[in-house]
């Protein structure tokens, strides 16, 4: 009789060999090119996530293997912008994969849910709160915290300071008051350790999600795994969850007696225009968690990278200065005179081109966004047949550095490409907030902050970067940010 202990030792090897043989010789995706290990294990992508350079790695992989690459045993990554229309605007033919389950802290929210009916209902309940019309009614909140940012820069005098930190404090405080009517006080405290551990939560979500065969057991058992780094990530997620619960509880109690509005109070009062149904407290907490995670960090990361690109590109900086100083008087960059968002982008076409070029060069929300091919007949994407049940994905950093769309200078920050009438480009070829009906619902919040901060800060201060030769390194855990500080000096511009 075969000894049991030998069976225990041999069986894993047999299973691994069988998996290797299937993935290499019999899997429906075997004909697609890609890294050897990616075809056999999800750990290939987890490793590159761990290096915090996955978006750059994906660009390199596509340059080597072509426009369609097998990046996991059952996943294809696409480089062509056609995937935006064919997949991400393809409705229920392509639903989110179980990767998104890794981000669940309460119940699935509008970002993570794979239930298309639930997502549609949530969007109906929340859409008005994130509209430009609704946000314009709360523009004084943006202005108050923008004034605090302007004053914080002034307080530095001639000393060097980290602009990345100051922008982070601004974005967190704006989201606190805008979403929760809460004073987070980070601009006053100026303590980076008090900023929420958003990177840790996103990294944990990507880590769970990129090992889909282990879900949901990996999330349930993680608390019992004695790995210090994993326990640190789990504590960070719990801290965000506790902070969200506190904000929601406070706002639900205040909502009945206060006439002041926040996104959360509007969410509490919101009704589905089709059914009249309101959100439950758990649903509100789930959505509020998404506000806290996505609302501040993506905005601060984008603004930091925008200022980096401008401060390391003399020509673009000079053109931006010329445009903004001609359109915005100095006295309109502080106090009660900050320029209103409405119409600002139309008045500042070069500034708008700079913002778009920054979205293209360095998109912050740069995790893979897998969808499942649901049609039992499969799907044709960019002219290529994809079998049913396959995960298909794009990384916007890959799309934004596709030389066939953006030219051989796709690695160059050149805002003028957006203003060339002989080679018109479409903002629809960008995906900084995702694409289609599952695109980020809070993109208007981010855009309003980015436009207002760039206009006011650039008009008011002449910024000088301390190290003009610094090479940009963007670290990504699913959401990217500039590695290290952005050290600058500032002096008041002339009238």
**Mean pLDDT in the chain?**
89
Most confident of 16-30, 57-71, 276-290: 57-71
Taking the C-alpha atoms of residue 200 and residue 202, their distance in angstroms, rounded to an integer, is 6
Domains contained in the chain, CATH given:
106-362+410-492 (1.10.630.10)
Q: What is the DSSP string of 121-173?
A: HHHHHHGGGGSHHHHHTTHHHHHHHHHHHHHHHHTTTTS-EEHHHHHHHHHHH
Q: Find, among 356, 267, 231, 244, the residue nearest to 305 by Cα.
A: 356
What is the per-residue pLDDT for 287?
A: 83
* Mean pLDDT score, 324-335: 86
- Asked if the model's pLDDT at residue 20 lies above 90, the reply is no
Helix (H, G, I), strand (E, B) or coil at 372: strand
What is the per-residue pLDDT for 258?
A: 64
Can you say how many angstroms the Cα of residue 143 is from the centroid of all Cα atoms in its chain?
24
**First vs last C-alpha separation in the chain:** 93
What is the per-residue pLDDT for 244?
A: 87
Q: Return the minimum-mean-pLDDT range out of 38-47, 238-247, 319-328, 394-403.
A: 238-247
Q: Find, among 87, 64, 69, the residue nearest to 382 by Cα.
A: 87
pLDDT in tens, 351-406: 999 999 999 999 999 999 999 999 999 999 999 999 999 999 999 999 999 999 99
Q: What angle do CA 452, 435, 356 make, to 5 degrees?
A: 35
Q: Identify the band that residue 40 occupies on the pLDDT scale cut at 50, 70 and 90.
A: very high
Per the listing, tokens 């004073």 go with 183
Percent of the chain with pLDDT over 90: 59
What is the per-residue pLDDT for 438?
A: 85
**pTM of the entire predicted model:** 0.93
Secondary element (H or E) of residue 95: strand 94-96
Burial class (CB in 10 A: 0-12, 13-18, 19+), 478: buried
Q: What angle do CA 62, 472, 479 make, to 5 degrees?
A: 65
What is the per-residue pLDDT for 8?
A: 66
| Maximum separation of any 2 CA atoms in the chain, in Å | 93
What is the per-residue pLDDT for 428?
A: 85
Count of residues in the chain: 495
Taking the C-alpha atoms of residue 118 and residue 124, their distance in angstroms, rounded to an integer, is 10
What is the per-residue pLDDT for 2?
A: 55
* Mean pLDDT score, 238-263: 80
- Asked if the model's pLDDT at residue 270 lies above 80, the reply is no
Q: Return the minimum-mean-pLDDT range out of 144-148, 153-157, 422-426, 461-465.
A: 422-426
What is the per-residue pLDDT for 1?
A: 54
Question: In the structure encoding, which two tokens stand for residue 383, read together?
Answer: 């002219």
What is the per-residue pLDDT for 256?
A: 67
Of residues 287 and 478, which shows the higher confidence score?
Answer: 478
Q: Return the minimum-mean-pLDDT range out of 80-89, 216-225, 250-259, 462-471.
A: 250-259
What is the per-residue pLDDT for 260?
A: 67
Taking the C-alpha atoms of residue 187 and residue 306, their distance in angstroms, rounded to an integer, is 20
Q: Identify the band that residue 206 occupies on the pLDDT scale cut at 50, 70 and 90.
A: very high
Q: What angle do CA 434, 435, 437 make, to 5 degrees?
A: 115
What is the per-residue pLDDT for 22?
A: 75
Taking the C-alpha atoms of residue 301 and residue 295, their distance in angstroms, rounded to an integer, is 11
Rg (CA), the chain: 24
Q: Return the minimum-mean-pLDDT range out of 149-158, 177-186, 357-366.
A: 177-186
- Asked if the model's pLDDT at residue 25 lies above 80, the reply is no
Q: Return the minimum-mean-pLDDT range out of 32-46, 272-286, 462-476.
A: 272-286
Taking the C-alpha atoms of residue 453 and residue 493, their distance in angstroms, rounded to an integer, is 16
What is the per-residue pLDDT for 6?
A: 64
Question: What's phi and psi for 246, nearest 5 deg?
Answer: -65, -45
Of residues 35 and 276, which shows the higher confidence score?
Answer: 35
**327 has binding-site annotation:** no
Number of other residues whose CB lies within 10 A of the CB of residue 13: 9
Burial class (CB in 10 A: 0-12, 13-18, 19+), 193: exposed
């Amino acid at each position: 009789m075969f000894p049991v202990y030998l069976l225990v030792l041999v069986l894993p090897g047999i299973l691994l060999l069988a998996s290797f043989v299937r993935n290499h010789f019999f899997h429906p995706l075997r004909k697609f090119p890609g890294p050897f290990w990616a075809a056999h294990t999800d750990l290939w992508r987890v490793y590159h996530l761990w290096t915090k350079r996955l978006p750059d790695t994906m660009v390199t992989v596509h340059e080597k293997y072509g426009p369609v690459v097998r990046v996991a045993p059952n996943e294809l990554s696409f480089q062509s912008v056609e995937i935006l229309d064919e997949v991400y605007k393809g409705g229920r033919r392509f639903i989110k994969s179980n990767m998104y389950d890794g981000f669940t802290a309460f119940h699935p929210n509008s970002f993570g849910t794979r239930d298309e009916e639930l997502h549609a209902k949530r969007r109906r309940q929340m859409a008005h709160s994130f509209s430009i019309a609704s946000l314009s009614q709360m523009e004084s909140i943006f202005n108050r915290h923008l004034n605090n940012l302007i004053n914080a820069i002034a307080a530095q005098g001639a000393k060097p300071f980290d602009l990345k930190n100051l922008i982070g404090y601004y974005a967190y405080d704006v989201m606190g008051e805008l979403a929760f009517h809460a004073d987070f006080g980070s601009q006053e405290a100026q303590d980076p350790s008090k900023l929420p551990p958003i990177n840790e939560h996103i990294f944990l979500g990507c880590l769970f999600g990129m090992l889909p065969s282990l879900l949901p057991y990996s999330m349930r058992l993680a608390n019992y795994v004695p790995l210090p780094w994993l326990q640190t990530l789990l504590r960070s997620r719990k801290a965000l969850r506790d902070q969200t619960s506190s904000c929601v509880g406070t706002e639900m109690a205040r909502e009945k007696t206060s006439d002041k509005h926040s996104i959360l109070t509007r969410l509490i009062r919101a009704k589905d225009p089709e059914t009249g149904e309101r959100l439950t407290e758990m649903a509100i907490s789930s959505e509020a968690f998404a506000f806290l995670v996505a609302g501040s960090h993506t905005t601060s990361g984008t603004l930091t990278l925008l200022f980096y690109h401008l401060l390391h590109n003399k020509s673009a900086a000079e053109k931006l200065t010329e445009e903004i100083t001609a359109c915005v008087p100095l006295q309109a960059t502080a106090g009660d005179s900050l320029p209103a968002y409405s119409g600002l982008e139309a008045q500042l076409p070069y500034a708008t081109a700079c913002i778009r070029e920054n979205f293209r060069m360095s998109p912050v929300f740069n995790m893979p966004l897998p969808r499942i091919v649901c049609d039992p007949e499969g799907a044709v994407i960019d002219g290529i047949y994809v079998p049913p049940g396959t995960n298909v994905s794009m990384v916007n950093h890959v799309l934004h550095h596709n030389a066939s769309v953006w030219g051989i200078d796709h690695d160059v920050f050149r805002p003028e490409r957006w203003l060339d009438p002989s080679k018109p480009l479409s903002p629809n070829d960008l995906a900084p907030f995702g694409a289609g009906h599952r695109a980020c619902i809070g993109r208007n919040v981010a855009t309003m902050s980015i436009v207002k901060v760039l206009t006011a800060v650039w008009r008011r201060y002449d910024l000088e970067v301390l190290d003009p030769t610094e090479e940009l390194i963007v670290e990504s855990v699913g959401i990217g940010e500039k590695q290290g500080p952005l050290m600058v000096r500032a002096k008041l511009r002339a009238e």
